[in-house]
Every structure is written in C-alpha cells, then in structure tokens.
Amino acid sequence: MEKPVHKTVMQKYILLLFFLSPFTIGYCQLVKGIVLDEKTKISIPFASVYFNGTFVGTKCDMKGTFELDRSEHTSMPVIISAIGYYSFMLKDFSSSRPVEIYLRPKEYEIKETVVKSKSLTEVRMKAMRLFKKEFLGLSNNAQKCKIMNEKDITFNYFADKDTLKAFTSKPLLIENSSLGYKVTYYLDKFEYYRKNGGILLSGNIVFKENDAKGDNQEEYAEKRKKTYFGSRMHFFRSLSLNDSIVEGFTVSTPVKNLKLYDIVVIDHKENRYLSYPEAFTINSTSGSSVVTVLKKYVFFDKNGYFDGSGLNWSGYMGDQRVADWLPYEYN
C-alpha cells in the first residue's frame, strides 16, 4: 500500500480493545483452506469461519476444510475460531490457493486458592456480577441480556487481587432479548483492573436473528435504531461519507476550526483511515466520547467496520459493550 497523504494529522485511555487489525485486501472472493492444530498439526473439524460482527459464516467439515464467499465483505478479514483454541485472523487474501490456518490451543494457568471467610459460591457470584457488568455493560440492553452458558466461564478469583481474569474454552452464547439477537462470542481475553477500572477485552462475535416473530419485531426495530444513533458504527459510517458535514456528530480538538472530516486520510485505492496525533472528543445528542488513536492510520469502511486495535474509547462510546453491538448488516 502506498503511503497515505495527510489532510490533517492524532492518542489516550480505557483499555477496551474492539474487534480487529488491518489486513491486505486481495482479489480472491472465495476463500478456501484447512484448519489445523498449531502443535499437533492435526486438522480441527467443525471450526467456525466467519466475518466478525456479522451474520455471515460457515463451519469446517470433518477434515477441517472450508470455503467462504467474501464478495459482500471484501474490506473485512476472516476469523477462524474453535472450541479450546484462540481465534485466528486471516488478513492476506493475495493467493488463490487454499490456505493453512493454525490455531493455538488455549492453556490457562489458574493458581489454587484457599477460600477462608467466604464460600466459593459467593466469590464466584461476585466475580460473575463484575464480569457481566464490564462485558455486557450497564445499558438497558444489557439488563435484558442473558449468558446462557455461564457455567463455562472460569475466573482467577484471588490469584491476582488487582486483576479479575475470565477464561472459557467454549464460545459464550448470549440471548439479547432487547435487540432481538442471539449472539455467539468467542472470548480470547478478559481482564479487569480494579485499581483504575480499565478493561482489556479481546474476542469475536457472530450474530443470529432471534427466532421469535410477530409483535416483538417493531419493538426490536425501535431499540436497534435508538442503539445505533451515536454509536461507533454510526460514527464511522458517517465519517466514510466524502463530505465536510458528518451526520449527527461534532468534534472537539486542540486545533481550532478543525472539521471532523479533516482527520480522514484517503489512499490511492480510496481506502479510508482515521489519523490524528492527539486525543479528541466526539459529541452527539447521545453523549460525549473521548477517542485516542494508537496507530498512525486506523482503517475503517462504509459499513462501520474499523480496526479496533488502533483505538481506545472512554465516555459514551466507551460504555457501549457487547449488549449494545449491532451486526454490520444493520440498516
């Protein structure tokens, strides 16, 4: 990729790692490959192959092979996940040959602890409440979310008094009865730092429409619309429009009279990147958010997808958690 040319050239706070990293955009629309164990080199049957944050995905067959059409998501990497393994991000589609994907097994070192004053049940309940607060959030949507397989989550309890860590070898199955989605979340890392309230969240998500039909559909549509406006997806979709006016948002920066679109860089392939050397504030009718850019160029596209590893959020958008996420197909 040729080096982008600046229009204007941005960094700061909460450790909420959202989604993915930049990747090489190639020309192959049908991705073929095989999924293997990194250590044993044995194929992994029935691994999930999908686009993070969408409805689109498939499963490997008994031999660990797969095919996935990426024609509708050419700007997004492909994610491969399996029970007991960390997810893998396929970013390079430059080859037309089948790819070999090696998944790394999850290995957790959980120290034994002696619970004296409280029963393990009470300690687990406290850890679970904190996990759901930081993972699902505190919004009205979060109040109507249920993790169907909580028993599959393990915590480090007292092994580290400052940091709560959550582990699971299986994907988390979430019923979002507020927005009408069934969610599968492949959790790779969750760490909550008690001293400063920071959180490190890494994982990938697949959506499915709730099977329920009828009267709930209008209620779902209204709540989805309310969730969308002022969200990160809304922001990046608005920012992708080649216009000096960005719908519903204003920006506050140390540079006076800077328009929001001035922090966008466009390369020779018309790819868009967020680029600004300092923290800045995004304002909308929903609330204010502080954004820190951690990379020189942060990719985003017209669907609202963005390279979440390049940004930190606080404020309104920082408070949006898994319960407030919408699939990229949402209109």
Distance, in Å, from the CA atom of 116 to the CA atom of 127, rounded to the nearest integer, reads: 16
Q: Which residue has the tokens 């959180």?
A: 199
Percent of the chain with pLDDT over 90: 59
User: What band does 101 get if pLDDT is binned at 50, 70 and 90?
Assistant: very high
Arithmetic mean of pLDDT, 101-108: 92
What pLDDT score was predicted for residue 313? 93
Q: Which residue has the tokens 């979340």?
A: 185
Fold of 30-103: Immunoglobulin-like (2.60.40)
**pLDDT of 80 higher than 90:** yes
Min mean pLDDT across 160-164, 177-181, 235-239 is at 160-164
Arithmetic mean of pLDDT, 194-211: 91
**Phi, psi angles (nearest 5°) of residue 88:** -125, 140
What pLDDT score was predicted for residue 214? 65
User: What band does 111 get if pLDDT is binned at 50, 70 and 90?
Assistant: low
**pLDDT of 157 higher than 80:** no
Domain residue ranges in the chain: 30-103, 120-209, 222-324
**pLDDT of 242 higher than 70:** no
Pairing label, strands 311-315, 272-274: unpaired
**pLDDT of 3 higher than 60:** no
User: What band does 25 get if pLDDT is binned at 50, 70 and 90?
Assistant: very low
Q: What is the mean pLDDT of the chain?
A: 85
Arithmetic mean of pLDDT, 232-255: 78
Arithmetic mean of pLDDT, 23-28: 46
